[in-house]
Chain A
């Protein structure tokens, strides 16, 4: 038995194994999987002064904004202004994921598909704009083109329309800042049960005044950069972008000789049901435990954790406390890519999933940049400032959100060396 087969013991009979074979990413440290991977390895920072909206009156206003995105490059079917910025990001990432998987759009059209896109704000950037029009010109001064595109269903429907998919279930998952993990987990369930053959899942969000203002008012926007787990951390930087993962069954990927980034081993969900914004340690720990159980792993199997790691005082202490509750004193390395790309809201755990898949495939752990000295209250090896090479088998990706919406995803390395014997033995059994 190979390691992979041992893990599959925990999977119920009749469930398919699910793998990630395509990644599409739009981020402030690089668009496209190669640029993103280079950025993660180099520890690039997307932080810069905000240009998305007028920041007059704020004492500080940095964010991880994307300043080189041209939607026309990615939209063939719809006029660019048919979609808001978050949907445009989603479409771009969706197209990239298909191409990165080595599939043509026609091949995706021929399969039964799921498209699920998570988000925090949907097209709140457009709602900001429309509110600005009302304030300046009166209540009925709404731009019809923008008013048509504000509903969150467009984030997933935009991908479907651009790709011309027909045999598809299209759903947006506005489960706030863990929405990417929800959407990916949903794809895992849909493929493993055999309901669909291919899934384009992830998350997207665009910078907006509304969310920057809310976090600023709560005192959780860092004045300069985001320093997760640092003794002097001062909060988040808001970010933007999209991450879309193309998933399919292991059988399908092997049959077409696809490059496999990682296997989705499982995921867990929990709800704090206690406070709308403050995270709850016990509930996060419960989510981690249920993810491990669903994936058929033990805590000791986890080689590193991609933390929610927002860089606020409260999050990092609570999250590490929850990790400690599950892992005891033997904590795996625990990093936050939010130090590089900011808090991309509904895209955050999708982009972190993409980073985990790359890490498993290429054998490295992305760093936590901007790090000076680790806070003893959240004392983890956060892989400060420099990526490290590492043989990885299992990684854990945490997503936490307003509403107490926790989602933890477990990915495993797909060992190509083990593929041949495993396949052969499966053939013999068959």
Chain B
């Protein structure tokens, strides 16, 4: 019951674990396709059909053939936008595979989703207002889509998640920030289980905005989309529910940089503090999944991680720049690799992110 969640104030040092995950990506819907795509190193970025997507890009990392009504059915999807559809579908996959006992306690189960909503929905709504016969003749059913928490709220409605329902945003670091938010909510006694992760959509307006913005003067990188979500709960709760502990969350750290040339120094400090806080050594890290953006920030990230052991895995060259979902894909890659390589049991995995607006972040997991 929710009362139990609220009354039990867990210890600050509580053991939090990942006990389930789900992913929708340019490799398709589901974990198997994602793992297979990574294993083979297949690039899922592909030419875009300009008739469907009139965008100033030749390629994109789209979820192949993603159609909201095919995936979710016709009921309740008439006005649903793409990012909401992606989030709702991915939450559904996670609950279907791992969440059976959670349904008994919806008030203590919540969602922390990283997303900035849909700029397409926002701009479409304003366009209708500007071009319609009257400035107020807009579709009222589309209004909720223009608010950035729409994917989070709709996922709760479709899947009856009545606990904390939180939307967070922070560029390339979004999913790490979402995981941190969820960890604090669990430690604060606000829920007993949280789905945490991030979702992003490909859209014509997102592509136009990104192209127009000319961030940093780098060659525009193909954009990606998708979502990945992780079930976060206390280790004891996972074991009691018969869910395998996939990984233990040892912590996350964030810092900021003013000048892109200092991004590496900020991340290096972040990682040093994170490892020290967890009482582990840089040599103990077996797997590192960096953000891996091209250009200066990626080089800064590489340099920052020079002192950290472990094999490197990069998802961004295969999936494109998934912005809000990018670090969610990185976390998913850690869990996919764990399933492929049993020797990673008890080893450490590090995920890092460098966002162009000045945030660096790192999350440390111990794989089970």
A residues in contact (CB < 8 Å) with B: 11-12, 14-15, 55-58, 77, 119-122, 124, 127-128, 130-132, 134-135, 139-140, 142-144, 147-148, 150-154, 156-157, 160-161, 164-176, 182, 186, 189-190, 192-195, 209-211, 213-214, 216-218, 268-277, 283, 286, 290, 293-294, 401-405
Instruction: State whether the Cβ of B303 lies closer than 8 Å to any Cβ in chain A.
Output: no
Q: B349 — which chain A residues lie within 8 A by C-beta? A: none
Interface contact A171-B157, CB-CB below 8 Å: no
A268 to B136, CA, bound (A): 36
Interface contact A176-B136, CB-CB below 8 Å: no
User: What per-residue 1/0 map shows which CB atoms of B186-217 lie under 8 Å from chain A?
Assistant: 01111000000000000000001110111100
A55 to B210, CA, bound (A): 30
- From A176, A189, A274, B188 is in contact (CB under 8 Å) with A189
> Which stretch, B94-102, B165-173, B228-236, touches the partner chain A?
B165-173
Interface contact B170-A403, CB-CB below 8 Å: no
Minimum-distance CB pairs A-B, first 6: A403-B153, A12-B9, A271-B165, A174-B148, A142-B212, A214-B143
Interface contact A144-B144, CB-CB below 8 Å: no
Instruction: State whether the Cβ of B345 lies closer than 8 Å to any Cβ in chain A.
Output: no
Interface contact A157-B162, CB-CB below 8 Å: no
- Which residues between 36 and 66 of chain B lie within 8 Å of chain A, taking CB atoms? 54, 56
Q: A193 — which chain B residues lie within 8 A by C-beta? A: 12, 184, 187-188
5 A-B pairs in the complex with CB atoms less than 8 angstroms apart: A147-B210, A175-B149, A269-B164, A403-B147, A405-B149
A57 to B132, CA, bound (A): 11
- In chain B, what residue has the closest Cβ to A113? B256
- In chain B, what residue has the closest Cβ to A115? B256
What's the nearest-Cβ distance from chain B to residue A256, in Å?
Answer: 24
- From A151, A168, A286, B255 is in contact (CB under 8 Å) with A168
Given A169-B177, A182-B166, A290-B6, does the pair A269, B156 have CB atoms closer than 8 Å? no
Interface contact A164-B169, CB-CB below 8 Å: no
Interface contact A173-B167, CB-CB below 8 Å: yes
Interface contact B157-A276, CB-CB below 8 Å: yes
B residues in contact (CB < 8 Å) with A: 2-3, 6-7, 9-12, 54, 56, 106-107, 110-111, 115-117, 119, 122-123, 125-127, 129-131, 134-138, 140, 143-144, 146-150, 152-154, 156-157, 159-171, 174, 177, 180-181, 184-185, 187-190, 208-210, 212-215, 254-258, 266, 355, 357-359
What's the nearest-Cβ distance from chain B to residue A348, in Å?
Answer: 13
Interface contact A213-B136, CB-CB below 8 Å: yes
Q: Identify whether the interface residues of A are mostly helix, strand, loop, or mixed.
A: mixed
Given A189-B185, A217-B138, does the pair A156, B116 have CB atoms closer than 8 Å? no
Interface contact B168-A172, CB-CB below 8 Å: yes
What's the nearest-Cβ distance from chain B to residue A166, in Å?
Answer: 5
- From B127, B156, B159, B162, A134 is in contact (CB under 8 Å) with B127
Interface contact A166-B255, CB-CB below 8 Å: yes
Given A15-B9, A170-B358, does the pair A210, B125 have CB atoms closer than 8 Å? yes
What's the nearest-Cβ distance from chain B to residue A279, in Å?
Answer: 12
Q: A170 — which chain B residues lie within 8 A by C-beta? A: 170, 254, 256, 358-359
Interface contact A174-B125, CB-CB below 8 Å: no
Q: A171 — which chain B residues lie within 8 A by C-beta? A: 168-170, 177, 181
Q: B117 — which chain A residues lie within 8 A by C-beta? A: 174
Interface contact A293-B184, CB-CB below 8 Å: no
Interface contact A58-B122, CB-CB below 8 Å: no
- From A142, A273, A403, B150 is in contact (CB under 8 Å) with A403
A132 to B164, CA, bound (A): 36
- From A131, A164, A173, A271, B258 is in contact (CB under 8 Å) with A164
Interface contact A403-B256, CB-CB below 8 Å: no
Q: A131 — which chain B residues lie within 8 A by C-beta? A: 123, 126-127, 130
- In chain A, what residue has the closest Cβ to B146? A210
Interface contact A175-B135, CB-CB below 8 Å: no
Given A174-B169, A175-B166, does the pair A148, B213 have CB atoms closer than 8 Å? yes
Q: A161 — which chain B residues lie within 8 A by C-beta? A: 256, 258, 358
What's the nearest-Cβ distance from chain A to residue B232, in Å?
Answer: 15
